[in-house]
């Protein structure tokens, strides 16, 4: 299966029982796709439900396994509960409380690991060997990428004449899916990735033209801490994305304040990275219409107090 | 002119150029009408634009005058700018920065006064004598009440089978308009007001059966600090509302945290009062469907840090 306009349109139909069509908010020429108001508080339900809803009935009872820093965990737990599959989620032990607790509340078994010393994929593999469950990877799977692309599809349905689209990049599922659908339905649109300076693996890979792996990053944007872009996502990004914009931690904080102040919505650090890139001129948007995907809103009030 | 289902339906049509149809968010049987996502950050644009858009063309050049603790100020400034009328807004000098600054940014002249020592109506009257402008009162006017009722009308269009509706009460514009339309389109619905214990003028008036005036209240719900219910609003509330529920300052703070955490939206203290009333069992909602109007979202990050 390839990621394509068709696979994304199919995903848009498949995920309807689980994902909401989120609102688009506007400030002048900026159009914000509010995935922080998505079920589970982030776009991740799109990809997770696209994959989980495709699992053959015979495999459902063996359950699903996911490794995730947070939002994908919750999304997988929601989708698994919906189809009646037991879920095991492998999460870093320092994941935000706001992401770990809802995952447990959804009935998933949470296995924690140390981001700096453990290999999460090995841990997930061990769980899969034990249960025979289906892996729901966080980004590097055609069904996941296609699901994530549905956010940009909806945004372009609501605002068909966008000139620019900006999405954050961690492993690259959202960005590669967004770039695939945006360039298909709106030829000529410029798609940019936005990434924290402290987690610049995709930027470095993009510039160097090959996969670069960095040490475990420590940005406040906890959803974007992947150390390297995906094997499937990166070639799509290389082909369809104009550039990767880097933002500082202070710019992310300022963008969070901007979103809360101007749009009256709660955004998590990762979700403000696209906004930071536009707000601080890291992406050339000119006077055209720009779409910004606010990827999630799962943050603690305690963190907001530090802004 | 009387406040009626018809006047509210007419308002719904009239205000379309200025007011948004805000989303309704759901948690189980609770349906939140998100007026914090309204233009100007509060429901107030509904009433202000209903009145301002009714001013005869010959009177527009003399402008408008409003006195307000904040959200009505901004709403009147937006509506005045839309029709090209100069606006003078009389605001308490301790109004939140988040409410005073946008009002000035909209081109309105802001005249400040001391809530504890000055008479804002006298100040507004002096401005009107000087300019000949049209007064846009914050609540006690049929056009204002009818405009505010449109929020409940939209909510009942989206969720027609509500059993209970809860709205906050300051001067009573939102509550009286909501009660008028809700009981008209959904006979049998129970409508409740929610008010801070520290600003219990409507509660006391409701219990006593006559207008009670209290000293200037000091609740954190700065939008609900009116010292007495309106001459027009109170008889409607007496006739159509089941009871006024009182909530403490701590309950308002907890409701603000609840809304930010669960709905991922920013709410101001006044906007959380209806939620506090339901969350803390001050309104008998049972297992029925309850509508809660979140009246506004204009708060400072500095205040959120105190939660």
CB contact at 8 A, A127 and A111: yes
Q: H or E stretch including A123? A: helix A120-131
A50-63 burial: b if 16+ Cβ within 10 Å, else e: bbbbebeeeebeeb
Per-residue pLDDT at B67? 85
Q: For A126, how many CA atoms within 13 A lie in the half-sphere containing its CB? A: 9
Query: To the nearest whole number, what is the mean pLDDT of chain B?
Result: 95
* Digit-coded pLDDT (tens) for B96-142: 777 788 899 999 999 999 988 888 778 878 888 889 999 999 999 99
Q: Do B41 and A264 touch (CB under 8 A)?
A: yes
CA distances from B180 to A69, A297, B195, B206 (A): 49, 36, 19, 17
How close does chain A come to B255, measured CA to CA in Å?
A: 13
Q: Which pLDDT belongs to residue A154?
A: 98
Identify the pLDDT of residue A145. 98
Q: Are the beta carbons of B297 and A264 separated by less than 8 Å? A: yes
List, in order, residues 6 or more apart from B79 with CB less than 8 Å away: B18, B45, B48, B49, B51, B52, B53, B64, B136
A49 is catalytic: no
pLDDT number for residue A95: 81
Q: Encoding tokens for residue A213?
A: 């792996």
Distance separating alpha carbons of residues B66 and B68, to the nearest angstrom: 6
Residue pointed to by tokens 């689980």: A18
For chain A, say whether B24 makes contact (Cβ under 8 Å): no
The answer to whether the CB of B234 falls within 8 A of the CB of B183 is no
Q: Is the minimum CB–CB distance between B22 and chain A shorter than 8 Å?
A: no
Q: What's the rounded Cα separation, in Å, for the pair A188 and B250?
A: 53
Q: For chain A, say whether B257 makes contact (Cβ under 8 Å).
A: yes
A262 is catalytic: no
Which residues of chain A lie closer than 8 angstroms to B98, CB-CB? Answer: 261
Q: Are A171 and A234 in contact (CB under 8 A)?
A: no
Least confident of A299-303, B188-192, B294-298: A299-303
Judge: A265–B265 Cβ closer than 8 Å, yes or no.
yes
- Compute the nearest-CA separation of B268 from chain A (Å): 10
| Helix/strand/coil for B209 | coil
- For chain B, how many helices (H) and strands (E)? 13, 10
> What is the per-residue pLDDT for A101?
86
pLDDT in tens, chain A (307 residues): 799 999 999 999 999 999 999 999 999 999 999 999 999 999 999 999 999 999 999 999 999 999 887 899 999 999 999 999 999 999 888 887 777 888 999 999 999 989 888 887 788 788 888 899 999 999 999 999 999 999 999 999 999 999 999 999 999 999 999 999 999 999 999 999 999 999 999 999 999 999 999 998 999 999 999 999 999 999 999 999 999 999 999 999 999 999 999 999 999 999 999 999 999 999 999 889 999 999 999 998 999 999 9
Structure tokens at B247: 């909530």
Residue % of chain B over a pLDDT of 90: 85
| Structure confidence at residue B256 (pLDDT) | 98
pLDDT digits (tens, 9 = 90+) for B201-240: 999 999 999 999 999 899 999 999 999 999 999 999 999 9
Facing residue for B257 by CB, picked from A25, A301, A307: A301
| Nearest in space to A267 (alpha carbons), one of A307, A227, A226, A229 | A307
Q: Which residue of A has its CA nearest to B254?
A: A301
CB contact under 8 A, A257 and B301: yes
Search chain B and give the residue with CA nearest A265: B265
pLDDT for the residue B101: 86
Show the domains of chain A with their CATH numbers: 5-43+141-304 (3.40.50.1100), 46-135 (3.40.50.1100)
- With CB atoms and an 8 Å threshold, state whether B264 touches A265: yes
Whether the predicted pLDDT of B288 surpasses 90:
yes
Q: Say whether residue B265 is in contact with chain A using an 8 A CB cutoff.
A: yes
Is there a contact between A257 and B36 if contact means CB atoms under 8 Å apart? no
Q: pLDDT by residue (tens digit) across B145-187?
A: 999 999 999 999 999 999 999 999 999 999 999 999 999 999 9
Q: Are B265 and A266 an interchain contact pair (Cβ–Cβ within 8 Å)?
A: yes
d(CA A152, CA A33): 8
Q: How far apart are CA A109 and CA A114, in angstroms?
A: 17
B2-57 pLDDT, tens digit each: 999 999 999 999 999 999 999 999 999 999 999 999 999 999 999 999 999 999 99
Give the percent of chain B with pLDDT over 70: 100
Q: Is 0.90 exceeded by the ipTM?
A: no
Q: What is the pLDDT of residues A190-234, one digit of tens each?
A: 999 999 999 999 999 999 999 999 998 999 999 999 999 999 999
Of A36, A265, A304, the CB nearest to B304: A304
Cβ–Cβ < 8 Å for A215, A227: yes
**Which phi and psi (to 5°) does residue B72 adopt?**
-70, -30
């Amino acid at each position: 299966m390839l990621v394509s306009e068709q696979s994304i349109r199919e995903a848009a139909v498949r995920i309807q029982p689980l994902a909401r069509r989120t609102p688009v908010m506007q400030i002048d020429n900026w159009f914000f796709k509010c995935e922080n108001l998505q079920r589970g508080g982030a776009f991740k339900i799109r990809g997770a439900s696209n994959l989980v809803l495709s699992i053959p009935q015979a495999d459902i009872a063996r359950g699903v396994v996911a490794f995730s820093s947070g939002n994908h965990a919750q999304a997988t737990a929601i989708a698994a509960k919906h189809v009646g599959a037991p879920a095991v989620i492998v999460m870093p032990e320092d994941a935000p409380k706001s992401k770990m607790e809802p995952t447990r509340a959804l009935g998933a078994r949470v296995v924690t690991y140390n981001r700096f010393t453990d290999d999460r994929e090995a841990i997930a593999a061990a769980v899969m060997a034990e249960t025979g469950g289906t892996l729901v990877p966080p980004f590097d799977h055609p069904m996941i990428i296609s699901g994530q692309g549905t956010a940009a599809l909806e945004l372009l349905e609501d605002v068909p004449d966008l000139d620019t689209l900006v999405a954050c990049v961690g492993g690259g599922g959202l960005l590669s899916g967004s770039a695939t659908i945006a360039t298909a339905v709106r030829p000529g649109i410029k798609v940019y990735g936005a990434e924290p300076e402290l987690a610049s693996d995709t930027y470095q890979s993009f510039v160097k033209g090959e996969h670069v792996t960095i040490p475990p990053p420590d940005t406040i944007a906890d959803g974007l801490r992947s150390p390297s872009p995906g094997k499937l996502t990166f070639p799509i990004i290389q082909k369809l994305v104009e550039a990767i914009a880097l933002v500082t931690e202070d710019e992310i904080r300022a963008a969070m304040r901007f979103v809360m102040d101007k749009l009256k919505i709660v955004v998590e650090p990762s979700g403000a990275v696209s906004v930071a890139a536009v707000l601080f001129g890291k992406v050339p948007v000119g006077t055209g219409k720009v779409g910004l995907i606010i990827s999630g809103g799962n943050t603690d009030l305690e963190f907001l107090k530090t802004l």
